[in-house]
A = this chain, B = another copy of it.
Amino acid sequence: MAHDMNMPTHPVVGPLKAETSGFHFYYGDHHALRNIDMPVGDKKVTAIIGPSGCGKSTLLRSFNRMHDLYPGNRYEGEIRLYPDNVNIIERGVDPIEVRMRIGMVFQKPNPFPKSIFENVAYGLRVRGEKRRSVIEEKVEEALRGAALWDEVKDRLDSLATNLSGGQQQRLCIARALAADPELLLFDEPTSALDPIATAGIEELIGQIKHRVTILIVTHNMQQAARVSDFTAFMYMGELVEFSPTEELFVKPKKQQTEDYITGRFG
């Protein structure tokens, strides 16, 4: 599929799904993000790494306006979503609309305490979809997409919270996928999982990236290295370096990046 005419092309990244420019974020008085310019390549995996508290999650959560849920937060600058070319943090843009187009998977698997089926169907129900057949079809598709169908197809009605951690996280991915997101945000999706479940999620990310653009925050540099096409390194609320992943890990451009990824941070 040729990319949409309205998607600008970035010299390093190629066609863009989104892009922040001159983006700032404030938690009340706390200036958490400073002047972030970051491209998000279409159908690419972009990872954000950096030390604790550098603002990774803050940046990620800005993409679906999660900060709107809490009082006192303020956005500044632009986060453009393509091909629409809208600045999604503008006042006039409805956060609910943004969230319907940009899915999210969280650090701790957070299935709703409902059945597996209802979890995946949730996004459709929220949209007012009532036709059972449509929902069933979409649920199956999403579960297949999340490589979970075979494991759960015989017990769609059992409680999602009875699944193992790794299955829960894949369910959360299915739940997000069922809503047909254009961009999927992952905030440390495996930090609550054991290594084997982690590998499963990473594998899944590798599979779905052909369908949807992915932005992932991770504490685990190796994870970023393993799953992403591009990596952004943040430090103290600023974007220090953005490079193709392999380059960043073998030959970073900035000393700070190098120090961080080689474990020389003080």
Which residues of A line the B interface, CB within 8 A?
Answer: 51-52, 194-197, 199, 219-221, 263, 265
Contacts and interface: CB of A to CB of B under 8 A. Distances in A.
Nearest to A49: B195
Contact of A196 (B51, B195, B196, B197): B51
> How many copies of this chain does the complex contain?
2
A203 to B, nearest CB: 10
A263 B199 contact: yes
A197 B194 CA distance: 20
14 contacts: A51-B194, A51-B195, A51-B196, A52-B194, A52-B195, A52-B196, A52-B197, A194-B219, A195-B219, A195-B220, A195-B221, A195-B263, A196-B265, A199-B263
Return the 5 tightest CB-CB contacts between A and B, nearest first: A52-B194, A196-B265, A51-B196, A199-B263, A194-B219
Contacts of A196: 51-52, 265
Chain A at the B interface: mostly helix, strand, loop or mixed?
loop
Contacts of A220: 195
Nearest to A265: B196
A243 to B, nearest CB: 19
A219 to B, nearest CB: 6
Nearest to A166: B52
A164 B5 CA distance: 49
A221 B220 CA distance: 13
Nearest to A192: B191
A51 B195 CA distance: 8
Nearest to A52: B194
Contacts of A219: 194-195
A198 to B, nearest CB: 10
Contacts of A263: 195, 199
Contacts of A52: 194-197
Nearest to A266: B196
A219 B265 CA distance: 23
A100 to B, nearest CB: 33
Given A51-B194, A52-B195, 8 more contacts: A51-B196, A52-B194, A52-B197, A195-B219, A195-B220, A195-B221, A195-B263, A196-B265
